[in-house]
Amino acid sequence: MKKVILIFISFGIFVGVLYFSISRYSKEELVLKKVQKDEWDKKQHIPWGINIVGNSRSGDVDKKIKVAILDSGINKNHKDLEGKVVKEFSSIGSSFSYEDNLGHGTAIAGIITANDNKFGVIGVTQSVEIYSAKVIKDDGKIDKKDFINGLEWAITQNVDVINLSLGFQSDFPELRSLIADALNKGIILIAASGNTYGLNAQLPARYDDVISVGMINEEKESTKFSAIGKIDFVGPGENILSLNNIGGYSYNEGSSYSTAYVTGVVAEYLSRQNLTKDKSIHLKVYEYLKKSSLKVNGDKNTVGYGLPTIQNM
């Protein structure tokens, strides 16, 4: 059984493998608890990442892009995700529960597409339909077979984009084969490079034609826990405000969240283009990301081509 490195900040390191878990009582979340609940109901908050990357509004939707999120499940009943999750799958356990009891997947979905309304927060794009595949257990662990089942399901749904805010330490044949299958079908794959503290990026982010995403802070600098090596682009990954799994909002850190920002940009780009869905689509998307990226501090093996944004679409 293989374990995945869940890409978000940890307060625990397990023996033999870097394994990251959410702390319910992180400093950021304690600060958030001091915000009066009614403030979220009266005003829509714009996260700092959205201010830099940009976002579409509800009236900007040209067509819906099918985005699969392979994660811990999603709270589809969150008021800021109403109508966004169209299909669910779970490869976890005998109960096949779709619920997000960890909180990671809901935060990822919120960054990509939190609703454009008068409360809460807003996501990068409104032009998506979310396909949620629960592959991470409620304790944050993942079995290789569960991940493979989820990836197979996403491919059979003929989605346009797959967000992988997770990563493996070592290669295995089934992973390489399914990634190749998805790419041949014209599916864009976007994966977190990992919180490796200066070590190499994870898999599948290291694969050719998988878009590998690193992270930056509000000063547009890479963070101390950033990966190096095959980094294509970066996204906001520190002090990230998004949805949580209990219907509220929390702050998070890690390349999981920067990956979601890039996924949002890609989905918005695809929604505004009339591209043929085949193997060549990856190059067109990649060239757009390069063209739209802002320069950030750091060399190419830590920040890649920079920070993709929504512009000149």
Quick one: which of 118, 138, 135, 117 has its CA closest to 126? 117
- Per-residue CA distances from 254 to 82, 194, 239, 257, 299 (Å): 26, 8, 9, 6, 19
Q: How would residue 37 be classed by pLDDT, with cut points 50, 70 and 90?
A: low
Please say if the pLDDT value at position 9 is more than 90. no
Look over the chain and give the mean of its residue pLDDT values, rounded to a whole number. Answer: 87
In whole angstroms, give the CA distance from residue 179 to residue 193. Answer: 16
Please determine, for residue 12, whether its predicted confidence score (pLDDT) is greater than 50. Answer: no
CA dihedral 142, 70, 279, 200 (to 10 degrees): -50
Q: Of these residues, 56, 80, 104, 160, which one is catalytic?
A: 104
Confidence label for 40 from pLDDT (cuts 50, 70 and 90) = confident
pTM: 0.89
Among candidate residues 71, 100, 160, 232, the one labeled active-site is 71
Residue 68 pLDDT: 98
Q: Residue type at 174?
A: E
Share of residues in the chain with pLDDT > 90 (%): 72
What pLDDT band is residue 24 in, cutting at 50, 70 and 90? very low
Residue type, 34: K
Q: Residue 193 pLDDT more than 90? A: yes
Q: What is the per-residue pLDDT across 97-150, written as a single tens digit (0 to 9) for each?
A: 899 999 999 999 999 999 999 899 999 999 999 999 999 999 898 899 999 999
Nearest residue to 265 (alpha-carbon basis) of 177, 188, 151, 207: 188
Question: Is the pLDDT score of 185 beyond 50?
Answer: yes
256 among known catalytic residues: yes
Query: Please, are residues 109 and 74 in contact by the beta-carbon 8 Å criterion?
Result: yes
Query: Residue 14 pLDDT > 70, yes or no?
Result: no
Of 132, 212, 255, 256, the catalytic one is 256
Mean pLDDT across 264-280: 95
Query: Does residue 232 carry a catalytic annotation?
Result: no
Q: How confident is the model at residue 10 (pLDDT cuts 50, 70, 90)?
A: very low
